[in-house]
Amino acid sequence: MRKKIIAANWKMNMTVSEAEAFLHTFLHEIGGENGVEIVIVPPFTALAKVSEILGRGQAAKLGAQNMHWEKSGAFTGEISAQMLRELYVRYVVIGHSERRTLFGETDDIVNRKVRASLEAALKPVVCIGETLEQRDAGEVESVLHRQIKVGLQGLSVRELSDTVIAYEPVWAIGTGRTATPEQAQAAHAFIRKTLSELWDSATADKVRIQYGGSVKPQNAAELMSEPDIDGALVGGASMDPRGFAEIVKAAMPAH
Ligand code: PEP
């Protein structure tokens, strides 16, 4: 049984003091152990403070929004896996569509980062998804297939099981337009089938596939009731601590 994983991608939002205030309310709202893996993904500047507040408790884990694939060197403005590890970061988002479209990240770059993260024992959350033009042209499956094949190339079975995939249709990110549960489930099932063809079905069954794209408290439960949707990567709605707690609650296993 795959444990659901809900991540808060704050993007370029949240100062250190705003992050502190968020956690104060959010951790109170969610209470103790709840059967859901929660990952808070602040901007780099708030990682140290969020790490300190989360401490060794299991309430939520820490994620980063990006990293460079080299270990160190003359890469002004970049952050290495080792720097993240020192702050107890456990997950790193790689290949978000904003990185792909605004900062020119290709599937090859995604692959370098994914491999470097796994080598450093950071779990990658690899974002894939089609644009509206690609969906309208009937290219959803070919785009997803290419992003998986190239982006995850060279991963061992063990590394693949440590990888989280986030299916984020670009047309649904920050637009208020969510994929229907049926559209999302179809894409997730295709992703799992592709993993089982490129690796094997037992490993594909272990990989968690999050949905991302305008997830909010009102639509989270319905999306996550689909068999291949194993959680959510949440942008806009993750900045409201009470709303984000409701999304986490929607992912809790039924008692
Ligand atoms: C995201 O940034 O990954 C995302 C899904 O954003 P939003 O929830 O705002 O659509």
- Per-domain residue ranges of the chain: 5-251
Residue 191 has pLDDT above 60, yes or no: yes
Active site residue 145: no
The per-residue pLDDT for range 232-244, each reduced to its tens digit, is 999 999 999 999 9
Smallest CA separation from ligand 1 atom 4, residue? 235
State what percent of residues in the chain have pLDDT above 90.
Answer: 93
Check pocket membership of 230 for ligand 1, CB cut-off 6 A: no
State the amino acid at position 9 in one-letter form. N
User: Quick one: pLDDT at residue 255?
Assistant: 54
Q: What does the mean pLDDT of the chain come to? A: 96
Check pocket membership of 235 for ligand 1, CB cut-off 6 A: yes
Q: Which residues pair with 9 in a beta bridge?
A: 41
Q: Per the residue annotation, which of 96, 105, 130, 159 is the catalytic one?
A: 96
User: Quick one: pLDDT at residue 82?
Assistant: 98
Which of 214, 223, 238 has the most ligand 1 atoms within 8 A of CB, as the residue to mutate?
214
**Ligand 1 centroid – CA 46 distance (Å):** 19
Which of 9, 12, 170 has the most ligand 1 atoms within 8 A of CB, as the residue to mutate?
9
Residue 33 has pLDDT above 80, yes or no: no
In DSSP notation, 179-239 reads PPHHHHHHHHHHHHHHHHHHS-HHHHHH-EEEEESS--HHHHHHHHTSTT--EEEESGGGG
Check pocket membership of 210 for ligand 1, CB cut-off 6 A: no
Sign of the Cα torsion 123, 196, 189, 251 reads: negative
**CATH of span 5-251:** 3.20.20.70
Residue labelled with tokens 């968020």:
22
Gap between the Cα atoms of 78 and 219, Å rounded: 35
This prediction has a pTM of 0.97
CB-based contacts of 134: which residues, under 8 Å, 6+ apart?
Answer: 140, 143
CB 222 within 8 A of CB 181: yes
Neighbour-count burial for 82-118, b at 16+ CB within 10 Å, e otherwise: ebbeeebbebbbbbbbbbbeeeebebebbbbbbbbbb
Looking at the CA of residue 127, tell me the nearest atom of ligand 1: 3
